[in-house]
Structure 1
Amino acid sequence: MEEKAAVKKVVIFGATGSIGTQTVDVVKQLGGFEVVGISFGSNIEIASRIMRDLGVEYYFSKKDIGFGKRCQSVDELLEKTSPDIVVCAIPGFEGVKTTFSALRYAKRIALATKEALVCAGPFVKDLARENNVELIPVDSEHSAIFQLYEPHIEKILITASGGAVRDVPLERISELKPSDILKHPTWSMGGRITVDSATMVNKLFEVIEAHELFNLEYGRIDVKINRLSFIHGIVFLKDGVIKIHAGKPDMRIPIAYALTYPERKYHSYVADVEEFDLTLFDVERERYPLFFYGLELTKDNDDLAWRIALNAADEVAVNAFLNREIMFTDIEKVVRMTIEYILKQNISVQSIEDVYEIDNLARSYALKYVEKEVKK
């Protein structure tokens, strides 16, 4: 008689966001997983629905939802639940801190928090190795490369949609409002990541993530635009073979794969040949200047300091843009000036405490720069 597989316990950090709610959808379809705890920010309505639908007992939030067992910290939530898998889907620098907590408790991290590897990649990987924790990427592009990966790689290619500005005349980009930028052509995502898709800071983050995840030099990571987001990643092998990972854009697929790896248990739409979009376009330097600025930095400086500053300044600038305090094109100014400021400080990043210190310094500078130099 075949032995029934044990149910795996899952904690979702950022449960009410785009990745979090889609993780809930996946868990409902798959079976074999029990969500034992969640964290969320302020969306009590969605959090309450998730907890009731899935019978979740523990949660961490600054908001009290009136039922269940509220933990006082992320660590308490993890101690109480002892999860097999933690889905890290908290955006921004807050997600870096929760990822470090998860690495001390879980057997597998389904990593959707880009900032963890961008700001603290070496420390995240060291802790994962020490604690024998699997790091499985949730980003569609990195999930694609992860699924195609083998030791004989010459180079990889990850794709971008180009975001909401890809077809806007260059002279009109500075006029775009938050409502224009938040209309992403192919994906449904949160506010910041949708803006980051339009500046392609999001793709810069993904280049850095790929560098960390797959131990590839930056020169072996290429980026092209695939308008329908049908191609997610391409691996070029040393013997001339090219492997392409493609399919209709649906974040539930990489989420499910991160939960069930190495098996495939999720069922989704399979595209017909007539629906394939295999056309790739170059990324325009004039349209995405911040992306190319970051790529130049990867050539000269693999120190973490500028990467931490990039994330902190981008968080501040995108928030100011979404609040209509600065123009869309001002995001680039804030990020560039903050990175230049941090690089002048010449701070060596030797520990996770240094990561936190540079984040504070960069965030403070970016906030002041927005207030004094670019605020409308």
Structure 2
Amino acid sequence: MEEKSTIKKVVILGATGSIGTQTVDVIKQLEGFKVVGISFGSNVEQARKIMEDLKVDYYVSNKEVGFGKRFENTQQLLEEVAPDIVVCAIPGFEGVKATIVALQYTKRIALATKEALVCAGPFVKKIAKEKHVEIIPVDSEHSAVFQLYEPHIEKILITASGGAVRDVPLKYISDLKPSDILKHPTWSMGGRITVDSSTMVNKLFEVIEAHELFDLEYDKIEVKINRSSFIHGIVFLKDGVIKIHAGKPDMRIPIAYALTYPERKYHSSVADVSEFDLLLSDVERERYPLFFYGLDMLKRKDDLSWRIALNAADELAVNAFLSGKISFKDIETVVRKTIERIDSQNIIITSIEDVYKTDELARSYAKDFIEREVQK
């Protein structure tokens, strides 16, 4: 009985996505962790396989697996299983809602849902502090900075791959199709995040995440391209020391660290020094205009309303692009117009309910702008 009490109970929210399935891979290798519940969207076959392999009894979905106990929502599941760790890997605004709920029922959030801090960072941090919940980042860049962090930081640097557009001549970028954009040069990820890597909206999210996680001003957060994705993060200390976190691009490593912190229990291949690629290059404004538009917005005003609009519009625009309704260039148009519309209203966010309402409003605007682009 004594040994059983040391088992960490884990719930994976978004279990059939890229981060979810890699979390399953990690837990299969680790001792002392038991997946007690999952949530998933439409991939019943993948969910069934996970539940059979890991002997999971509980799940949340609007689809039937055929065995186990199904709950209608995340709160019901978490109340039932009382997990030690919740892996938040639901993309989009649904992931924000799931994270807010999970904070009420667990001791640690392994956070892969970028949108939670982008759209509701102050509220997420406040609830975590009140409930004594650890937030451990799963993003490779934030995991890197988290591992390097100490109080004497001058600035940090997070890296970007540049996505599928990094070597495409500028004049051809606007004509790229979903099949072109989804060919990520270094990472294996889901559809939206792969597109967001090519617009670098993903990296804009990560700048905001770093600001929220590490309480750093935006002028202390730098972004550079590292083509191999070998460097994940760099911390510059006030005494002149530079600490670099590097390694092969494998999301299982930061996932494992978020689960086992402060220990390292996961085993992976260690790169040879000859594989190191430490070359950093500047991000081109002409190639990634939406990224720089967002940075300019952050310098002008860092309020939640436009950040919520950024996520809502990007989520809808990327889905429209992937389904062939709008062009790659139209993503930028939809996002900018939605942000400008929300920004003009001077919305003040004072509660998590305000976050939800502003998301709904931004989505209605984004949907309208998308329909206009389709009709052109």
Place the TM-score, normalised by the shorter chain, in its bin.
over 0.9
Report the Cα distance in structure 2 between the residues aligned to 1:281 and 1:38, rounded to whole angstroms. 40
> Partner residue of 1:349?
349
1:60 is matched with: 60
1:13-162 alignment, distance < 5 Å? 13-162=13-162
Q: Which runs of 5+ in 2 are unaligned?
A: none
Say whether 1:282 aligns with 2:282: yes
**1:224–1:256 distance in 2 versus 1, CA, 3 Å:** same
Q: Runs of 4+ in structure 1 displaced over 3 angstroms? A: 2-5, 373-376
Separation of aligned partners in 1, 2:254 and 2:373: 41
Shift, 1:373, TM fit: 3.4
Cα separation, 1, equivalents of 2:132 and 2:65 = 35
Q: Contact 1:330 / 1:374 at 8 angstroms: preserved in 2?
A: no
- Number of equivalences: 375
**Residues 325, 375 of structure 1: 8 Å contact kept:** no
* Aligned amino acid, residue 154 of structure 2: E
Give the unaligned 5+ runs of structure 1: none
Contact 2:181 2:198 survives alignment (8 Å): yes
Residue 359 of structure 1 corresponds to: 359
SS in 2 for 1:120: helix
Are 1:164 and 2:164 matched, yes or no?
A: yes
Q: Distance in 2 between matches of 1:73 and 1:367?
A: 26
- SS of the equivalent of 1:329 reads helix
Paired amino acid for 1:178: P
After superposition, residues 176-187 of structure 1 pair within 5 angstroms as: 176-187=176-187
Provide the identity percentage.
78
For the residue of structure 1 that corresponds to 2:248, the secondary structure is coil
Kindly provide the CA deviation profile for residues 22-78 of structure 1, in whole angstroms up to 9, marking residues without a partner as x.
000000001110000000000000000000000001000010111100012110100
- Partner residue, 2:250: 250
Within 2, Cα distance between the matches of 1:46 and 1:4? 28
Aligned to 1:312: 312
CA separation of 1:302 and 1:266: change in aligned 2, threshold 3 A? same
Is the CA contact (8 Å cut-off) linking 2:309 and 2:339 kept in structure 1?
yes
- In the alignment, the residues of structure 2 paired with residue 373 and residue 269 of structure 1 have an alpha-carbon distance, to the nearest angstrom, of 47
RMSD between aligned residues: 1.1
Tell me by how many angstroms 1:294 deviates: 0.2
SS where residue 264 of structure 1 aligns? Answer: coil
* SS, match of residue 104 in structure 1: coil
Change (3 A) 1:4 1:105: closer
Q: Which residue is equivalent to 2:331?
A: 331
Q: 2:253, 2:106 → 1: CA distance?
A: 22
In 2, Cα distance between equivalents of 1:84 and 1:122: 23
Instruction: Find the residue that maps to 1:345 and give its secondary structure.
Output: coil
Between the aligned partners of 1:208 and 1:167, the Cα distance in structure 2 is 26
Q: Secondary structure at the match of 1:36?
A: strand
Match of 1:293 in 2: 293
Is the Cα contact below 8 Å between 1:160 and 1:223 reproduced in 2?
yes
Conservation of the 8 A alpha-carbon contact between 1:326 and 1:375? no
Paired letter, 1:162: G
1:103 counterpart letter in structure 2: L
**Separation in structure 1 between the aligned mates of residue 167 and residue 139 of structure 2, nearest angstrom:** 24
- Could you list the per-position Cα deviations for residues 168-201 of structure 1 after superposition, in whole angstroms to 9, with x for gaps in the alignment? 0000001100000000000000000000000000
1:66 & 1:78 partners in 2: Cα distance? 20
Letter in 1 for 2:24: V
Partner Cα separation in structure 1 for residue 263 and residue 77 of structure 2: 28
Q: Spell out, residue by residue over 1:184-222, the C-alpha distance to the aligned partner (whole angstroms, 9 max, x if none).
A: 000000000000000000000000000000000000000
Give the 3-state SS of the residue equivalent to 2:222 in structure 1. strand
**Equivalent-residue separation in structure 2 for 1:135 and 1:286 (angstroms):** 35
Is the contact made by 1:305 and 1:347 (CA closer than 8 Å) also made in structure 2? yes
Alignment-mate amino acid for residue 244 of structure 1: I
Instruction: Work out the CA distance in 2 between the residues paired with 1:374 and 1:292.
Output: 25
Indicate the SS of the match to 2:174. Answer: helix
Partner of 2:232: 232
CA offset at residue 269 of structure 1? 0.9
Q: CA deviation at 1:314?
A: 0.1
Query: What secondary structure is seen at the aligned counterpart in 2 of 1:159?
Result: strand
Provide Cα deviations, 1:69-119, integer angstroms capped at 9, x if missing partner.
Answer: 001211010011100000000000000000001000000000000000000
